[in-house]
Structure 1
Amino acid sequence: MRKRTLYLLQATTALGGMGYGVMFTVLDDFREKYGITEAQLGIIVGVGFITGFMSQILFAPLADKGHAKKLVMTGIAIEIVGTLFMAFGQAFLPLIIGRLLAGFGVGISEPALRRILILSDPERMGQNLGLIVSASVAGFTAGPIVSALTADTLGIAAPFLLVAVLLVVVGFGLFNLQFQEANIEDAPTQRLAFDMLRIRPLAGAIVIGLALFAMIGTFDAVWSVMMDDMKAPTWVANLGISLFAFPMIFLAPRGGRLTQKVGPFKASMTGLSIGAVCLVMYGTLWSPYPMLAIGIIHGIVDGLTITGGSAAVALVAPRERLASAQGLYGGLQTLTGGIAAVLAGTAYGIIGRATFVWCAVAMLLFIATGAWLAKDSLHITGSDNPIDA
């Protein structure tokens, strides 16, 4: 894969993460300045996950039929429009429309992007997936920094506008590139990918991966509001996000190589189990300051294992339906994240920080169920099941 192509695909993913990171860190501003309730904040966060689910499920199979580049470009265009709605919306309706469009755009482009990465350099699949995760996390981590530098002085719209402008630049850069496309004559005929859930190892990999987005949806909907309610300074809330995410920027590519070597199922289950323990700590610690230390540990573990799910799906899915499998995996993850965000936003208003503990229980149930489904494939590695371009 040409470095320019890899860099632009990384930038696409990074800007998607940055837009989300900006939104995540201004949720308390939406509440205070626009009168958005906690439940509405949970819906705004969650609805992007749900549209991400729909777009990945509906459009990912098209990437296996020779339309990967079109999907990436269309997704970027829709994401730009959604980001502009987030920039100028000052009430619940325009904000939720913006989040709907942004989630839809990311969902259209992501499976196609992953297909390009996996097939362009199969021997470095784990590393390249790690680089994409690293870019996404780097963008998400930069979101609070961009917000801190621009939102207070230039207004809430400023960081969103910056993301939109950068997406336009990246879109122009991708427009003239050629991607490896599937042969339309040999493309699979299935319109959707749900039939692949009959493949037990694939179903197991997906179910295990749902634990990740149950955690993400809960964390994203509750963290900022929880920090505010605990009277933590704004810098503590933003630093907590950065400390959680920062290790993943540097460790995800190395973690991708590690998961491909030791086995993606093992890596994913181990990392998510440790993540569940970290959630329990967020729900029970007495002060926001020790939570920062837990966030560092959590970020390191996730950085080393987060690519396990995508790598597992790539290894057990039919080769001619890689994008469909990645879309099914990502779509069901985002649906789970959306449901978790909505439930967490509502539950937090009732049971407070115990929301994290209940999420940890749900994560362990997902991991156990997925391990049972994929019990005959838990020990596979990248060398056992090489992917042919």
Structure 2
Amino acid sequence: MNRRTRTLLVLICGVAVASVYASQPVIGQMGVDLGVPAGSVGWFVAVGQLGYLLGLIFLVPLGDLIDRRQLIVAHLIAVAAGLVLVAAAPAAWVAFAGIAITGVFAVVVQTAVAYAAAVSAPAERGHNLGIVTSGVVVGILGGRILAGFLADVWGWRSVFIVLAVFAATLVLLMLLLLPDDARPRDVRYGALIRSFAGMFFQPVFFSRGVIAFFLFASFGALWSGMTLPLTASPWHLNETQVGLFGIAGLAGAIGAARAGSWADAGSANRLTGIALVILLISWLAIGQLPSSLILLIVGVILLDFAVQATHVSNQHLLTSVYADRTSTTIGAYMVFYSLGSALGAATTTALYDTAGWAGSALLGAAFAVGGLSTWALNRRTMNRVRPTVR
């Protein structure tokens, strides 16, 4: 694993994740242009998330069966095709189909992360995972900034065209630069799916998955909910200005880049606990949004630092314990991510309608408490975990 390979994998993660979240800032424009009622435009996001969940279950385990380099190339081609379909959509159903295709194959992110874990030396696995998974947060937050800017200048279709060009370019770079990753031939797809289901009965895996569920529910409660108070009184910000808060999130995520190195040093479990405490503290600042944008920015930085640090330490530990099936493990782990993100997004807007931002902030903090409590209950067990020797 050299710097060139890491950089390429970061770009793959960033573009793929941005493709899933690209519709968030432009669903209003898409709805008007394609004739979708205002109350239904949320499906432009939901369809992509549902597709992503299906991809996690049925496609990611293939990384333990097929050369991951070939798999990444095939998935990126499908992502580019889905994005082109959305950009050219003459009707809503075509856009929904394109978004669904994009979501299913955007799980190339997890294949890229599994590739990074598999080709890394054990002593460098956390460091490499920390760098590669930073592309996920960059894609989520940076994609919002890019989409808001492109939509304001050239319209919503330009967002999907640009991302399709990025994905196609990465296909060429993959073919030229990334080494093969041959897989064993004695593994069957049915066995992988059964192994995928069996992961949920593994205590170590399940406890880390529940932490991820609460972690990304808290993350979703912020990023899906804060647009509402920021566009309302007293701030009245536009979509592009709201998107710029992603810069604060990026700063926090990048600040956690050394989380992988700390995990390599044997501090993965301790790092998780510290990060979850920081996540809880961040909501004290985020809750002040109605009166202070400065405190909101501080809270966003802390939250995204905590999310990235916990996410990296989780994946480092799981890919160490289950080193013989990294793709299956990461795919199953990310199911908790999808469910948590969906719960956070759905509940924060509902609470905002009834209890204002104070209700949304308490919800985000409650999710953080859930993650911290899960870690505390399983701390002794996790401290006794020993990685699988490869």
Q: If the TM-score is normalised by the length of the shorter chain, which range does it land in?
A: 0.7 to 0.9
Say yes or no: does 1:330 pair with 2:334.
yes
TM-score normalized by structure 1? 0.85
SS of the residue 2:159 aligns to: helix
TM-fit CA distance, 1:214: 0.8
> What is the aligned-residue identity percentage?
18
Following superposition of structure 1 onto structure 2, how do residues 11-90 of structure 1 map, counting pairs within 5 Å? 11-20=11-20, 22-27=22-27, 29-30=29-30, 40-88=40-88
Structure 1: distance between partners of 2:170 and 2:74: 13
Say yes or no: does 1:179 pair with 2:183.
no
Following superposition of structure 1 onto structure 2, how do residues 1-389 of structure 1 map, counting pairs within 5 Å? 1-20=1-20, 22-27=22-27, 29-30=29-30, 40-88=40-88, 93-107=93-107, 109-121=108-120, 122-176=122-176, 177-185=178-186, 189-192=191-194, 193-230=196-233, 231-234=235-238, 236-249=241-254, 251-279=255-283, 281-287=285-291, 289=293, 290-317=295-322, 319-353=323-357, 354-369=359-374, 371-373=376-378, 375-378=380-383, 385=387, 387-388=389-390
Tell which has more relative contact order, 1 or 2 (C-alpha 8 A, sep 6+).
Answer: 1
Structure 1: distance between partners of 2:86 and 2:223: 17
Quick one: structure 1 residues 276 and 89, their matched pair in 2 at CA, closer, same or farther if it must change by over 3 Å?
farther
Structure 1: distance between partners of 2:3 and 2:32: 44
Structure 1: distance between partners of 2:288 and 2:280: 13
CA deviations 1:299-333 (Å, max 9, x no partner) are 3444544311111211332x321211111001221
One-letter amino acid of the counterpart of residue 99, structure 2: R
TM-fit CA distance, 1:379: 6.2
Q: 5+ residue gaps in structure 2?
A: none
Structure 2: distance between partners of 1:92 and 1:221: 23
Structure 1: distance between partners of 2:98 and 2:372: 33
Quick one: structure 1 residues 325 and 306, their matched pair in 2 at CA, closer, same or farther if it must change by over 3 Å?
closer
One-letter amino acid of the counterpart of residue 387, structure 2: N
CA deviations 1:86-137 (Å, max 9, x no partner) are 4355876455444322221112x23322221112113211111111122233
Quick one: structure 1 residues 35 and 195, their matched pair in 2 at CA, closer, same or farther if it must change by over 3 Å?
same
One-letter amino acid of the counterpart of residue 79, structure 1: V
One-letter amino acid of the counterpart of residue 109, structure 2: E
What RMSD over aligned residues (CA atoms) do the two structures have, in Å? 3.0
> Is the contact made by 1:111 and 1:326 (CA closer than 8 Å) also made in structure 2?
yes
Quick one: structure 1 residues 347 and 84, their matched pair in 2 at CA, closer, same or farther if it must change by over 3 Å?
farther
Structure 2: distance between partners of 1:337 and 1:144: 16
TM-score normalized by structure 2? 0.85
SS of the residue 2:348 aligns to: helix
Structure 1: distance between partners of 2:18 and 2:141: 7
Q: 5+ residue gaps in structure 1?
A: none
Quick one: structure 1 residues 36 and 186, their matched pair in 2 at CA, closer, same or farther if it must change by over 3 Å?
closer
